[in-house]
Every structure is written in C-alpha cells, then in structure tokens.
Amino acid sequence: MMITPVSMTRRHFHKIVAGAAASQLLLAKINSVVGGVQLGVQSYSFRDRPLDAAIKAMVEVGLGECELWQGHVEPKLKAKELSAWRETVSLDEFAKVRKQFADAGITLYAYNYSFRDNFSDKEIERGFEMAKALGVSILTASSTVSCVPRIDPVAQKYKIKVGFHGHDNTKDPNEFSTPESFSKAMDGHSKYMCVNLDIGHFFAAGFDPVDYLEKHHERIVTLHIKDRKKDHGANFPFGEGETPIKGVLQLLKTKHYKIPANIEYEYKGADSQAEVTKCYQYMKQALA
C-alpha cells in the first residue's frame, strides 16, 4: 500500500513530537536567578568528582550558572608536563566542555585559569584561546600583581576580562588580598583588568566586601560566596561565620548589579552536593 503524506504524518507524529520535546528538555536553561541575582557555583566546589559528575550535581542542585575551575579540565601532571599540555592541547577539547554545559542547560560564565609568574608567554595566551573555545568572555585567576603587565596586553588583544582572585595573605604584597593590591591591577591598566571578589577571603583579611562591592562593582566580574570568621578565621557553613553574605546579596538585588554570586564550598562537610545545596538554600533565603 502506498503511504500518503497524511498517513506518514500520522504514523510519525507522536515520534516527532516526543523527539522535539526531548530536545527542548535537553537544551532547557536552568534558572537560578533569585530576586534578579544570578546565583551559581565555582566548580571547585565539586573538586571531589570529575567534570561530568560535577555537572550532574549542578543540575540536581538546580544551579544554572558556573565558573569553571581549571582543575576540572587539566590533567594531573608535573609542572613542566602541565605547561607543555597547556601550550599544545587541542582547543577542540574545550569546545567539547562547552557543549557539555550547554547540553545540561548551564550557562558557562567564566573560566578559572590562574596565571603565575612562571607561566610562559604561550601559556598566558593559551588561557585566552581556551576562553574563546569555551565561549566565555571572562577569565578568573588566582594570580600575582607582577603578572598583570604581561596579562593586560593579551587581554586587550582577545577582548577578554580577567578577574583577579584574592585570598587573605596580606603579608605578601605580590598576592591579591587588599583593596590596594587590586588597585595595582586596575590603575594604569586597561578596562580588562578586573576583580573576582571572594567575599569570605576579603572579609577574613580585614575588609568590608559590601563597601568594596558598592564602590567597585563596575570592575568586579564575579563574586565567590563563602563564610569565614574575621582575623583570618576559618571557613564555616553559610550563616555560621561572620562574612556579610546577606548584605552582599541584598546589595546585588537592590542595586541591580549584574554580577554572578557563585558558591565556593570550602568548609569541611559530609558531601559536596549536599553542602552546595545547603549553601544555595541559604542564599535564596537571604534574597527573600
């Protein structure tokens, strides 16, 4: 019997609809915007598992934005071998990672690639090439002040912002920790030299993240959210430390700053997915 267009449509209609629905589900974006504030995660929070399992955890927690930690991409090699890998790895590997996040419905916002003084010029430039392959316009970096003059020209070439990440090591002037150290990166350099403000480290170092955010929000590309005690105190579950997490989130909400607030789980807990879930719930309540 000859199959007519009508019978063909009937025969395949449900299959086509089901396939389209599955495709839509696969590509559906996870929405973790609360009160106008984009909540997300630094994938370092899931450092106890490989990238595919980390992405699965993000989906199950319900986080739709991610700053990708380089440790989820780079192999575990000695310094020289890792340097060679960075200089030669195919950028197709990063395009595959980009697709993994897209297929999961997660916005890949930034790539954490920490430039250090021993990086070759090629290693520095490759970070920007990796960012392009990942489809992001922001790099974050636990870097040094002395690296900035080498990084800035390459950032301008690729038109990619670099958010320098601080810790609480206020004794080393070459490490980012104080407002003055961040100023050394931004003052006298291009608009691409920016800040990745870790509010827990900044507070533990003796500074007010709410005040700094309000004054420098135009140059802050991402926030790391964690809870620490003052005076270089330890990390605690959200709400048990002294870092003004709620004040930071409320400022993002009321001022409409379009800066992602990314969970960075570092305190000691039982299971990273369970703890990140708790962090996320705390942040949502803080924005209520």
Question: Is pLDDT of 6 > 80?
Answer: no
Phi and psi based region of residue 206 (left: phi greater than 0; alpha: psi -120 to 50; beta: remaining): left
d(CA 194, CA 164): 6
Nearest to 266 by CA among 173, 167, 170: 167
**Inter-residue contact 55 to 46 (CB < 8 Å):** no
Amino acid at site 159: K
pLDDT at residue number 270:
86
Q: In the predicted model, what is the mean pLDDT of residues 44-58? A: 98
- Statement: 29-286 belongs to CATH 3.20.20.150: yes
In tens, the pLDDT along 34-48 reads 999 999 999 999 999
Mean pLDDT score, 101-118? 98
Identify the band that residue 124 occupies on the pLDDT scale cut at 50, 70 and 90. Answer: very high
Structure tokens at 9: 């449509």
E strand residue ranges, 8-132: 33-34, 37-42, 65-69, 107-112
Mean per-residue pLDDT over the chain, rounded: 93
Q: How far apart are CA 232 and CA 250, in angstroms?
A: 24
As beta bridge partners, residue 66 has: 41, 108
DSSP 196-212: EEEHHHHHHTT--HHHH
Q: List, in order, residues 6 or more apart from 237 with CB less than 8 Å away.
A: 227, 267, 269, 275, 278, 279
Instruction: Determine the pLDDT at residue 4.
Output: 43
Q: Is the pLDDT of residue 1 over 70?
A: no
Map out the domains of the chain as residue ranges.
29-286
The Cα–Cα gap between 161 and 172 comes to 24
- Using CA atoms of 51, 81, 157, 130 in order, give the dihedral in degrees to the nearest 10: -20
Half-sphere exposure of 250 (CA within 13 A, CB side): 9
**Rounded CA separation 247/231 (Å):** 19
pLDDT digits (tens, 9 = 90+) for 13-41: 455 444 544 444 455 899 999 999 999 99
Beta-strand ranges (E) seen in the chain are: 33-34, 37-42, 65-69, 107-112, 138-141, 161-165, 193-198, 220-225, 227-228, 235-236, 261-263
For the stretch 270-285, pLDDT in tens is 899 999 999 999 999 9
Task: Give 175-234 pLDDT, tens digit per residue.
Answer: 999 999 999 999 999 999 999 999 999 999 999 999 999 999 999 999 999 999 999 999
